Amino acid sequence: MITIKGLSKIFKTNQQEVKAVDDVSINIEKGEIFGVIGYSGAGKSTFIRLINRLEEPSSGDVVINDTNITSLSVGKLRKERQKIGMIFQHFNLLWSRTVFENIAFPLEIAGIPKAERRTKVLELIELVGLKGRENSYPSQLSGGQKQRVGIARSLANDPDVLLCDEATSALDPETTDDILDLLVSINKKLNLTIIMITHEMHVIQKICHRVAVMDQGRVVEQGDVLSVFVKPQSKTAKRFVQQLSPLEHQQDELKRFITNDPNREVVKLHFIGNDAKRALISDVLRKFDIEINILQGSISPTQEGAYGTLYVELSGNKALITETIDYIQSSGVEVEVIENVN
């Protein structure tokens, strides 16, 4: 549905050239919520502005529904942009206009008749949960309500794609979750393709199906959210995953359990999907004459299923420990023997 190939953006100054986006290639399916995450300066906001040519690419192509956005004339681009909605970190509302008038603004520009405009705006107000606030001004709204106006306005022209540039980073955690829930609902109701730019792994975890990790203008890793969470490959992805995995910051607590005793092993178990809900420990204790000491554990949900991490100490005959580990692995749970903690 969206094919991005070799996309680059170079900013030139008197002294140097800065490659803000460097040869990025991504395919995004229709109806998916695709996340792009990176730290400040990674190039993610420039990248999303290249998609609808708010920034002109230095090279590369952006193809949406078989239309090459990068090759359109100014006139054709203006028309094509009506199919690409966008919401911003700081809302970008018209402060002298009411909620109703803000949402109606793109329809006015598109020349939609007044009666049809009114019907559409009222539908959108209902969709984003702002019924009763039609005549309020932005200064009378909370941050979450302002972003709901921004979302409704971005949907006014029935876009195929919604670009979200740090859409929740100005909001408190509870409001952020409300807005993310709204975006998931809109995605399902309208089969709308959403591209989320963020520096918050919580956003990726909660609503995205796939994710690309950016660092210094390049995509250093991409894949299903669950895969990236469970087995991050790049240094940047590992740092982001640690934000949501407090166990990774508490590994020093495991040191006292790690010994050279062949009859004791500390192992890390990875549970994915339905395996995260299994009573694996009880199952193992029924089958093997072994002691299990649970040291640390956590479970996290994603759009593609849950994943969990559990650190346990196995105590018993060495051969029995090996047999137990083999059994756990055969059940579909990944096992990593912890030999030291860095």
Tens of pLDDT, residues 112-146: 999 999 999 999 999 999 999 999 999 999 999 99
Nearest Cα residue to 154 out of 91, 87, 104? 87
pLDDT, position 249: 47
pLDDT one-digit tens code per residue, 229-245: 878 899 999 888 877 66
Strand partners, 24: 7
Which DSSP string corresponds to 133-171?
Answer: -TT--GGGS-HHHHHHHHHHHHTTT--SEEEEESTTTTS
Judge whether 290 and 321 are in contact, CB under 8 Å: yes
Helix (H, G, I), strand (E, B) or coil at 65: coil
- Chain segment 93-115, per-residue pLDDT in tens: 999 999 999 999 999 998 999 99
Coil, helix or strand for 216? coil
How would DSSP label each residue in 252-290?
A: GGGGGG--S-TTEEEEEEEEEGGGGGS-HHHHHHHHSS-
pLDDT, greater one: 15 or 305: 15
Question: Could you tell me the domains of the chain?
Answer: 2-244 (3.40.50.300), 246-338 (3.30.70.260)
- Burial letters for 179-212: b for 16+ Cβ neighbours within 10 Å, e otherwise? bbebbbebbeebebbbbbbbbbbbbbbbbbbbbb
Q: Confidence class of residue 291 from pLDDT cuts 50, 70 and 90?
A: very high
| Cβ contacts of 143 within 8 Å, gap of 6 or more | 91, 170, 171, 172, 175
Q: Which 8-state DSSP code applies to residue 208? A: -
Residue 248's pLDDT is what? 52
Mean pLDDT on 144-154: 96
Tokens linked to 27: 């395919």
The number of beta carbons lying within 10 Å of the beta carbon of residue 286 is 8
Greatest mean pLDDT among 30-34, 252-256, 323-327, 333-337 lies in 30-34
Q: How confident is the model at residue 213, as a pLDDT?
A: 97
Residue 53 has pLDDT above 90, yes or no: yes
Q: Per-residue pLDDT for 277 more than 70?
A: no
Tell whether the model's pLDDT for residue 252 goes beyond 70.
no
DSSP category for residue 93:
-
Residue 65's identity, in one-letter code, is N
- How far is residue 331's CA from residue 64's CA, in Å, rounded to a whole number? 42
Residue-level pLDDT at 250: 53
Is a pLDDT exceeding 90 seen at residue 251?
Answer: no
- Specify whether the CB–CB gap between 214 and 38 falls below 8 A: yes
Two tokens at 192? 């709308």
**Residue 254: pLDDT over 90:** no
Percent helix / strand / coil, the chain, rounded to 5? 40, 30, 30
- Which residues share a beta bridge with 297? 310
The chain-wide mean pLDDT, for the chain, equals 89
Question: Six-digit token pair at 175?
Answer: 């409001």
Q: How far apart are CA 26 and CA 266, in angstroms?
A: 39
Overall average pLDDT of the 14-43 stretch: 94
CA distance 194 to 187: 7
